[in-house]
A = this chain, B = another copy of it.
Amino acid sequence: MDRSNHRAAGRSKAGADFLQLRPENAPPGGLAEWLATELRTAIADGRLALGSRLPATRQLAAELQVSRGVVTEAYQRLTEDGHITARGRAGTTVAAAPIDRPAVFQEPPGTPVGLAGLSVDGTQRARVGQLTLADPDQDIFDTMRAAPARIDLTPGVPDLAAFPRAAWLKAERAVLTDLSASAFGYGDPAGTPALRLAVANWLARNRGIKADPTDLIIVAGVSQALALICQVLGSDGITELAVEDPGSLGSRQHLQIWGMRTPPVPVDDSGLRVDVLRDTGAPAVLVTPAHQFPTGVVLDGERRRELMQWAIEGGLIIEDDYDAEHRYDRPPVPAIRGMLTEQVIYTGSISKLLAPALRIGWMLPPPRNRRALIAAKRHADLGNAGLPQLTLAHLMESGELERQLRFVRRRHRARRDAMIDAISNHLPTATVHGAAAGLHLTITFPDTLDDIALASAALARGVKTQPLSWHHQHPRSPGLVLGYAARTPTELTEAITLIAKAHKDVS
């Protein structure tokens, strides 16, 4: 660029007025650090464009009515971390490298996604050799994940190829640019204030929940949330946590590992049978009201009222809001926690919104459980990692996450429709459930089919699914749980034709 333009740009733009610098906001004794931070922010958000010239130290000092040493010190710090360069007569100019254009989102690679997490030794592969879907033990999900499959329809993951890599990197860069050194130390076990605030705002915008950020606890996903809840309830003498039937096998195994009995409560077309919940006498229940797993049923108004009444009479609701933001043909269902503050421990995560690999989730407990749950989180791992929390907070507050959600929702809907078409074409006897929302659908078969044999046959043909009976405590109609969000329409159509073949294999 032409230097005279820099100077003009510099003069016209980079003054204290344009930057709206307010020295009175600086902490006592921290003027230079404050100014450096202000300038970094201005560079990060583009008010100070790349190549633009900063005012001379004397000029800026005069405008800010601070000593020239303060400005020199601030410029020095920005020079040290590469934001600006001093070029003699050319003056001091903004030199931070711009973020590259985002790369086109990658489609899933050809290598079977089922290999994700296959440990570098052969042990899991070896265990896959003995894979017995019929007997899902504690590490069945690790085993399944390690099982090679050409098309992975494991439910519970969004379109991983759509992870916003460039936006994530850009947000992290912005966070690192003006992060204080102390943020790299041990943090608040309940989570960084920035993310707790961002999640509170997210829940207000998207889930009808009004939460004080300081009531939120950041955790490593819903799985850890349930572990901490079991520990705290257990120390209160609670050893029984009713679950939905059908309901997530993984959650049920997890609760049992952490010492809970899990009496089943049937789910019908209106959702959880609250009358049966009462009969169990269980003091607490784990529910997925917005989009029940695996049936996809929405807890209807009457049942919500019954469930809240049960809670008001002393029951504790653990609300797993696992994929409520993914909806296609219906308005969003507000969270129960939005209507009932005292008797609900609400939990959700970023796993279905962005990626499970981020291991970030949140818990919104009633005030009386808050301290015990924070202590449990501290004793588990001293709190989540800081940098990813701050990066996610940046994505949430900038609107990037909502943008991402709108983007994947369109893709998910198209994929769901492709799967439903393929099912009606190739599996005419199957009934589709829970397609109005979420990342998966469930199909059931009228005949007396062994769905574990079906899932095994499908896996043998290269398609990974979950047999519905895994998620049943009491026998019901056989079926499969099919995740569609992470696969392309072409893959989904091929997968269904292969499942149809597998269905013939076992019929």
The interface bits of chain A over 215-250 (1 if a CB of B lies within 8 angstroms of the residue's CB, else 0) are 000001101100100000000000000000000000
Q: In whole angstroms, how far apart are the Cα atoms of A257 and B379 in the complex?
A: 8
| Chain B: CB-nearest residue to A123 | B214
Shortest CB distance A259–B (Å)? 11
The interface bits of chain A over 150-174 (1 if a CB of B lies within 8 angstroms of the residue's CB, else 0) are 0000000100110101101100110
The interface bits of chain A over 168-186 (1 if a CB of B lies within 8 angstroms of the residue's CB, else 0) are 1100110011011111111
List CB contacts (< 8 Å) of A351-388 with chain B: 354-360, 375, 378-388
List CB contacts (< 8 Å) of A68-83 with chain B: 77, 80-82
Q: Is the pair A385, B385 in contact by a Cβ cutoff of 8 Å?
A: yes
**CB of A139 within 8 A of chain B?**
yes
For A115, A169, A181, the residue with the greatest tally of chain B CB atoms inside 10 Å of its CB is: A181
Given the contacts A77-B107, A168-B176, A388-B385, A117 and B185 also touching, CB distance less than 8 Å: yes
Q: In whole angstroms, how far apart are the Cα atoms of A172 and B175 in the complex?
A: 14
The interface bits of chain A over 451-494 (1 if a CB of B lies within 8 angstroms of the residue's CB, else 0) are 00000000000000000000000000000000000100000000
Query: Residue A388 contacts which of B80, B139, B387 (CB distance < 8 angstroms)?
Result: B387
Number of interface residues of A (CB under 8 A): 92
Q: In whole angstroms, how far apart are the Cα atoms of A106 and B182 in the complex?
A: 11
**CB of A213 within 8 A of chain B?**
yes
**CB of A276 within 8 A of chain B?**
no
Q: Is the pair A110, B182 in contact by a Cβ cutoff of 8 Å?
A: no
Q: Is the pair A186, B33 in contact by a Cβ cutoff of 8 Å?
A: no
Q: Which residues of B contact A36 (CB under 8 A)?
A: 109
Query: Residue A160 contacts which of B181, B214, B257, B385 (CB distance < 8 angstroms)?
Result: B181
Query: Which of the candidate stretches A24-32, A325-333, A411-419, A428-436 sits at the interface with the other chain?
Result: A24-32
**CB of A190 within 8 A of chain B?**
yes
Given the contacts A356-B185, A359-B384, A385-B388, A139 and B177 also touching, CB distance less than 8 Å: no
**CB of A145 within 8 A of chain B?**
yes
Q: Is the pair B382, A223 in contact by a Cβ cutoff of 8 Å?
A: yes
Q: Which residues of B contact A165 (CB under 8 A)?
A: 81, 176, 179
- Contacts A/B (CB < 8 Å), 21 sampled: A33-B109, A36-B109, A81-B165, A106-B180, A108-B180, A117-B182, A117-B188, A119-B190, A120-B196, A145-B186, A163-B181, A183-B357, A185-B357, A186-B357, A220-B385, A223-B381, A224-B382, A227-B379, A227-B380, A358-B385, A358-B387
Pick the 3 closest A-B CB pairs, nearest first.
Answer: A357-B386, A184-B355, A116-B182
